[in-house]
Structure 1
């Protein structure tokens, strides 16, 4: 793989990730609306769809890491630093779609606190899918040295430590009652209600 191909993979897989983030925003807003009008079945469909979008996001993240650490350090990471970007602490957290997703997650958190029991299987899938995204992101980050080195945004902390912190904070938003069980609901023989 050439350096140009690696940069193209990095950029395009992040574009795909951004598209999934935008789709997730739409899906979660639809979930919110369905809950508010009392349409539990459609709300469940939206949570299932949100889980699938999360899993697709994880695959995009894995694709982003499909080249060597050397190529990342020498070719890709410098593109996220001055003079190639205007910020000293560049991060995907700066993207408008990520910021808007965080607003949506904060807005709908009360819905998870009072979620109908019949939606718990879909909610568990959504939480599990989020954990898959986090694991994929950390795996790519570790591959590129993020377990030992700081992130661009917080050089005093390892990038993986920062991802752990973000994961804990977001889990509090999507699972405020801390009810998600262990195991993987994607491999369950139980049908969703």
Structure 2
């Protein structure tokens, strides 16, 4: 945006939206597992020796770290999104919200309101995730008014609220994943 290449900004917003939908879909796939399967097969892939760190985080992957570092470095950039890209920007915000809530859904389903996270075992996983989501939203929301809007919050209180938000209109998550990668 600082280089005034608005066409590229639209392409980037659309690409980030699709990638976040795909990431959210993968979270939902993980959430379809039985608790025993999740605990024995999925969760261990995010721990030693499968990752080279005792405190797993998405930030360990190059693409995730690059994205978050870029957002941190350019904190006011989203305030510069031009009006005619408003729908692409709003789609981006919604896809981020979908990803964040899908992550929270999986965490909640497998006991994250009682147990530690992979990154910080001594703290409650959902509380950590809530803080991370709030800080990420502050980086990408373009106005203080939007940030204070209760609809921009990612706090959900029970399973029915998760399920209501996560309804995608697709017959299955694989359709959502395919759509997000088109």
TM-score by length of 2: 0.69
Stretch of structure 1 that moved more, 56-65 or 36-45: 36-45
Relative to structure 1, the CA distance from residue 179 to residue 57 in structure 2 (aligned partners, 3 Å threshold; closer, same or farther) is farther
- Show CA shifts across 1:130-167 (max 9, x none): 01000001111112211221112112222111111111
Of the candidates 132, 150, 165, which is equivalent to residue 166 of structure 1? 132
Of the candidates 52, 64, 69, which is equivalent to residue 98 of structure 1? 64
Structure 2 unaligned segments of length 5 or more: list them.
153-164, 169-182
* 1:107-146 alignment runs, 5 A limit: 107-146=73-112
Contact 2:30–2:42 (CA under 8 A) maintained in structure 1: no
Flag the structure with more relative contact order, 1 or 2, with Cα contacts below 8 A and sequence separation at least 6: 2
Contact 1:69–1:145 (CA under 8 A) maintained in structure 2: no
Structure 1 unaligned segments of length 5 or more: list them.
1-34, 187-193
Separation of aligned partners in 2, 1:55 and 1:83:
28
Runs ≥4 residues deviating over 6 A: none
TM-score by length of 1: 0.66
